[in-house]
């Protein structure tokens, strides 16, 4: 089949537009990449530096850590900082959230850090968004053993999503 010059030009333009859009998306958040941890925002958000020196904010998938102004919020951040600051991690991106952060699983030396923070009582399973069936059992054990956030008296423990709602509605 022969294309007319105009049809051929439109075909090439469509291919170029599609290919450049896909390449740009892949550059923004490739599905699986290595990066160095540049900053730890809190117990479930880090910023990584790519070889190009571009930084990307990463929100841990499946979990929600206490806000820094909540009980155990600063401890969760400090614990994650002591492990990850300056370290090379593997990022497995699931999606991009409404704030432009890559929502991802983070691996350090083969350890799934999303599961780690739950297992060590540094974060809750974010039931509304959780897609990891194994992480729920880790939370159950941490809760039974009163590890980390689970050691806070029940009356003083507020889930981060409820805390944010309260702050918004003040």
Distance of CA 71 to the CA centre of its chain: 21
Determine the Cα–Cα distance for residues 102 and 122; give it in Å rounded to an integer. Answer: 20
Task: Let me know if 157 is a catalytic residue.
Answer: no
The catalytic residue among 24, 88, 98, 101 is 101
The tokens describing 127, both together, are: 């039931």
What are the CA-CA distances from residue 45 to residues 3, 84, 109, 134 (Å)? 51, 11, 18, 21
The catalytic residue among 2, 24, 57, 67 is 67
3-state helix, strand, coil split of the chain in percent (to 5) is 40, 25, 35
Determine the Cα–Cα distance for residues 93 and 137; give it in Å rounded to an integer. Answer: 23
The catalytic residue among 59, 105, 115, 139 is 59
Task: Let me know if 24 is a catalytic residue.
Answer: no
* Cβ within 8 Å of residue 11, ≥6 positions away: 3
* Cβ within 8 Å of residue 28, ≥6 positions away: none
Task: Let me know if 101 is a catalytic residue.
Answer: yes
| 110 within 8 A of 102, measured Cβ to Cβ | no
Q: Which residues are the active-site residues?
A: 59, 67, 101
């Amino acid at each position: 089949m022969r294309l007319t010059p105009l049809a051929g030009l439109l075909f090439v333009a469509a291919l170029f537009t599609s290919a450049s859009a896909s390449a740009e998306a892949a550059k923004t958040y490739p599905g699986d990449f290595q990066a160095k941890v540049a900053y730890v925002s809190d117990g479930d958000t880090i910023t990584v530096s790519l070889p190009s020196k571009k930084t990307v904010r990463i929100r841990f998938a499946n979990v929600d850590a206490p806000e820094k102004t909540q009980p155990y919020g600063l401890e969760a951040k400090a614990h994650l900082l002591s492990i990850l600051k300056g370290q090379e991690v593997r990022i497995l991106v699931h999606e991009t959230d409404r704030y432009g952060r890559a929502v991802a699983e983070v691996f350090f030396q083969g350890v799934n850090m999303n599961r780690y923070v739950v297992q060590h009582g540094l974060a809750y399973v974010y039931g509304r968004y959780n897609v990891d069936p194994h992480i729920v059992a880790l939370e159950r054990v941490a809760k039974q053993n009163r590890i980390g956030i689970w050691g806070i008296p029940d009356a003083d423990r507020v889930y981060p999503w409820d805390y944010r709602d309260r702050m918004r509605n003040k």
